[in-house]
Amino acid sequence: MYRNKGRPTLEEVEKMECPKYLKSQLKKLKKEMNYKDGTEILLALSIASDEMSRCVHMFPEVFYMDVTAGTNRQKRDLFLMVVKDANGQTFIGNATVIPSGQRWVFDKIFQSFFLHLYGEETIGRNRLALTDDDKAEHGPWDNSVETLECYNESKHMLCVFHALVMAFHEKVYPKLPHKINLKKELTEEGEIYGKKICFILFVTFRIMRC
């Protein structure tokens, strides 16, 4: 995104240039989509209106991020970043139409789109990013935290559903006492154990977030 008038500086030209690894990924993507060599495609469309930017500047402490599938006629994925105020009201801070769910796409979002749209000062105020368990999405965020100074104060955590609910059903629930010949129903003792474990996990998760 180039906002200034006139000829861009050398630093701005370097930022807008397409890296070699990205060119190879685009070439592969074109081939997969049966485009001819030389065909220009819209890689991604990152949207942040004045109202969306204002909300991000006001509530930058926590980013809630996820991807929804098949939201348009081309069946492209839509990446959403949401912020929340002290009253629990949520606001969409960013909507990006992405070509795929590969790591390099999220690298571009975090290290280019976010910095150009909101600035390093606002990104530097973020303290927590919540995502699902898709490593292609949260891996680039972790890389940004390690490599870019404005991301250094941020931490990544999984959302409650993926961190607790799915983990409970996959790792804890099968080991609880079940009724004979009924693998999906717990005994009375199993239900008591299950509730206690859920409570402990939830309290632990809340403490970790604080």
Positive or negative, the CA dihedral 133, 139, 140, 142 is positive
pTM attached to this predicted model? 0.63
Query: Do 119 and 20 share a structural domain?
Result: no
Query: Do 99 and 11 share a structural domain?
Result: no
Task: Tell me the pLDDT tens digit for each residue of 68-123.
Answer: 877 666 677 899 999 999 888 999 999 998 888 888 899 999 999 999 999 999 99
Q: Which of 158, 176, 194 is the last residue of a domain?
A: 158
Q: Residue 166: its pLDDT value, please?
A: 67
Task: Tell me the pLDDT tens digit for each residue of 11-49.
Answer: 666 666 666 777 777 777 666 666 666 666 667 889 899
Structural domain that includes position 190:
162-209
Question: How far is residue 144's CA from residue 110's CA, in Å, rounded to a whole number?
Answer: 7
Task: Tell me the pLDDT tens digit for each residue of 149-192.
Answer: 999 999 988 876 665 666 666 777 677 777 776 667 777 777 77
Query: Do 180 and 135 share a structural domain?
Result: no
Query: How many folded domains does the chain comprise?
Result: 3
Query: Do 153 and 50 share a structural domain?
Result: yes
What's the Cα-to-Cα distance from 111 to each of 57, 80, 155, rounded to whole Å? 17, 16, 16
| DSSP reduced 3-state for 140 | helix
Q: Residue 153: its pLDDT value, please?
A: 93
Q: Residue 175: its pLDDT value, please?
A: 73
Question: How far is residue 18's CA from residue 27's CA, in Å, rounded to a whole number?
Answer: 12
Query: Do 31 and 53 share a structural domain?
Result: no
Query: Do 175 and 154 share a structural domain?
Result: no
Query: Do 80 and 25 share a structural domain?
Result: no
Query: Do 116 and 101 share a structural domain?
Result: yes
Query: Do 47 and 15 share a structural domain?
Result: no
Query: Do 59 and 31 share a structural domain?
Result: no
